[in-house]
């Protein structure tokens, strides 16, 4: 499942061209599209009222579930095994996978999951009273409606359905942006399709699915270098911690784990805090939880980057995708060398071996989560003790990481 913050992206992107991974891994790869933005995730009281079961705001998730059903019914014709489906995705695609694992009708169609740079499984917003989204997704939906000519219509929803697509996309840009610069339209815990946060559903599930998860070592550098997250002053730092937690006390707790005095600059503090608190630590906790339920679970940290403009930010959010798909030549913003290509081939072997056997290729030395983290570098791969374990443990003790 592609990333893009639930507002952009496509399975047809050249970065997701899957011939190399299919050929080297001897697997059938399916990339898919789903409705995005307001078309996929708009939640309003009127839409909720007209829904037969009260479900609202998760139309893009229903598209994904329909695709899973199609795969189950038809993949054998293409040489695939409908009982051995691995769902894998990056960024918001990982969040969507968490949702699918928590949805009735989807979970039984998935044998295992690979979550790249998705954090944990507790990032779906609530319809109302969301801790970091005032007004919840229903409030965001009303903001969207007010940005259209339909705000004063007798039935805003019927009016919206008659608007040209361009008007809808323009209104979408008026919805308050989240910390990552994305318009905050995305899945909702609606109490029906998603009865609770995915991690809460998974905690009550009879068994866990095998899991491979991890993140880039400098995920947040993309958002800082791109100017999406401000990181110049102490005020910027405080704004970030408050935005991540939605609560002054919890923000202070978060800052106690990543004190500015530990870093050479505000920018470095923001990159480290965001990379670990948002991505690495939740992923680590999810892997540990999965292992505690008796399922194979593997954690990684990717420290490799590439050359070119895109690689100038270092091992940041999104740069794992061309390595996993073997599409290092898909963008003019990337340059790569033989070491990069060799690492890409190694990652393809690890990912596809897990997709087939619920474990990476044992020759890599990748051990389950209890024994450490696999570091992916230009020079190759190696097992280390979890590099962020100390701060992650503190975050968990403070209740700042789910589980």
pLDDT digits (tens, 9 = 90+) for 269-324: 999 999 999 999 999 999 999 999 999 999 999 999 888 777 778 999 999 999 99
pLDDT confidence of residue 179: 64
The C-alpha R_g of the chain, in whole angstroms, comes to: 21
Percent of the chain with pLDDT over 70: 97
> Is pLDDT above 70 for 236?
yes
- Mean pLDDT in residue range 219-242: 92
Residue 13 and residue 236: Cα distance in Å, rounded? Answer: 34
Largest CA distance in the chain: 65
Lowest mean pLDDT among 62-66, 90-94, 388-392: 388-392
Show the tokens assigned to 269. 């503090």
- Mean pLDDT in residue range 165-179: 87
Spatial CA neighbour of 24 closest among 375, 342, 239, 379:
342
Give the DSSP H/E element, type plus range, for residue 126: strand 125-126
Give the DSSP H/E element, type plus range, for residue 146: helix 136-146
Show the tokens assigned to 229. 């997250």
Strand 380-384 relative to strand 373-377, pairing: antiparallel
Lowest mean pLDDT among 70-84, 168-182, 280-294: 168-182
3-state SS, residue 87: strand
Look-up of token digits 């707790």: 253
> Is pLDDT above 60 for 54?
yes
3-state SS, residue 338: helix
Question: Is there a catalytic annotation at residue 12?
Answer: no
> Is pLDDT above 60 for 181?
no
pLDDT confidence of residue 372: 78
pLDDT confidence of residue 397: 92
Determine how many CB atoms are found less than 10 A away from the CB of residue 73.
11
- Mean pLDDT in residue range 12-25: 95
Show the tokens assigned to 134. 């005032």
- Which of 13, 55, 91, 275 is catalytic? The answer is 91
> Is pLDDT above 60 for 95?
yes
CATH 3.40.50.1820 applies to domain 216-403: yes
Q: What mean pLDDT value characterizes the chain?
A: 92
pLDDT confidence of residue 53: 95
> Is pLDDT above 60 for 183?
no
Answer whether 301's CB lies under 8 Å from 387's CB: yes
pLDDT confidence of residue 42: 97
Answer whether 82's CB lies under 8 Å from 75's CB: yes
228 falls in which pLDDT band (50, 70, 90)? confident
> Is pLDDT above 80 for 344?
yes
Domain coordinates of the chain in residue numbers?
1-209, 216-403
Backbone angles phi, psi at 382, to 5 degrees: -155, 150
> Is pLDDT above 60 for 39?
yes
Residue 98 and residue 92: Cα distance in Å, rounded? Answer: 10
pLDDT confidence of residue 180: 58
> Is pLDDT above 80 for 21?
yes
Separate counts of helices (H) and strands (E) for the chain:
17, 8
Backbone angles phi, psi at 376, to 5 degrees: -105, 115
pLDDT tens-digit readout, 370-402: 767 899 998 889 988 876 778 999 999 999 997
CATH fold match for the domains 1-209 and 216-403: yes
Show the tokens assigned to 109. 């169609």
Lowest mean pLDDT among 11-25, 171-185, 357-371: 171-185
Residue 306 and residue 318: Cα distance in Å, rounded? Answer: 12
Contacts 24+ apart (CB under 8 A), 308-313: 308/332, 308/333, 308/334, 308/335, 309/333, 310/334, 311/335, 312/225, 313/218, 313/221, 313/222, 313/225
- Mean pLDDT in residue range 150-177: 94
The model's pTM: 0.94
Residues found in the chain: 403
Spatial CA neighbour of 267 closest among 227, 297, 302, 294:
227
pLDDT confidence of residue 331: 87
Looking at domain 1-209, its CATH architecture is: 3-Layer(aba) Sandwich (3.40)
363 falls in which pLDDT band (50, 70, 90)? confident
pLDDT confidence of residue 364: 73
Give the DSSP H/E element, type plus range, for residue 136: helix 136-146
């Amino acid at each position: 499942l592609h990333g893009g913050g639930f507002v952009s992206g496509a399975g047809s992107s050249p970065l997701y061209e899957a011939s190399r991974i299919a050929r080297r891994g001897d697997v059938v790869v399916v990339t898919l599209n789903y409705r995005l933005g307001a078309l996929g995730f708009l939640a309003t009281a009127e839409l909720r009222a007209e829904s037969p079961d009260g479900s609202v705001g998760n139309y893009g998730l229903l598209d994904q579930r329909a695709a899973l059903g199609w795969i189950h019914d038809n993949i054998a014709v293409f040489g695939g095994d409908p009982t051995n489906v691995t769902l894998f995705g990056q960024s918001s695609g990982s969040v969507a996978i968490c949702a699918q694992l928590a949805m009735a009708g989807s979970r039984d169609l998935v044998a295992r999951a690979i979550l790249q740079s998705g954090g944990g499984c507790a990032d779906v917003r609530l319809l109302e009273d969301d801790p970091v989204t005032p007004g919840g997704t229903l409030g965001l939906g009303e903001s969207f409606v007010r940005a259209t000519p339909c705000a004063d219509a007798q039935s805003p929803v019927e009016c919206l359905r008659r608007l040209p697509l361009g008007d809808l996309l323009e209104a979408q840009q008026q919805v308050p942006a989240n910390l990552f610069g994305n318009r905050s339209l995305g899945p909702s815990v609606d109490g029906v399709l998603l009865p609770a946060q995915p991690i809460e559903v998974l905690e009550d599930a009879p068994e866990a699915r095998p899991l491979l998860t991890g993140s880039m070592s400098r995920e947040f550098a993309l958002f800082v270098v791109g100017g999406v997250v401000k990181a110049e002053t102490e005020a910027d730092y405080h704004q970030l911690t408050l935005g991540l937690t939605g609560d002054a006390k919890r923000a202070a707790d978060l800052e106690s784990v990543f004190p500015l005095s530990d870093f050479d600059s505000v920018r470095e503090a923001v990159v480290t805090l965001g990379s670990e608190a948002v991505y690495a630590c939740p992923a680590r906790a999810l892997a540990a939880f999965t292992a505690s339920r008796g399922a194979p679970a593997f954690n990684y940290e990717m420290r490799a980057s590439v050359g070119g403009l895109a690689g100038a930010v270092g091992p940041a959010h999104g740069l794992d995708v061309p390595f996993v798909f073997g599409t290092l030549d898909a963008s003019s913003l990337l340059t790569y060398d033989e070491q990069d290509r060799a690492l890409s081939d190694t990652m393809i072997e690890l990912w596809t071996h897990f997709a087939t056997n619920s474990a990476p290729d044992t020759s890599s030395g990748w051990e389950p989560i209890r024994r450490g983290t696999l570091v992916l570098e230009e020079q190759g791969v190696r097992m280390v003790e979890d590099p962020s374990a100390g701060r992650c443990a503190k975050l968990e003790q403070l209740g700042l990481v789910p589980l």
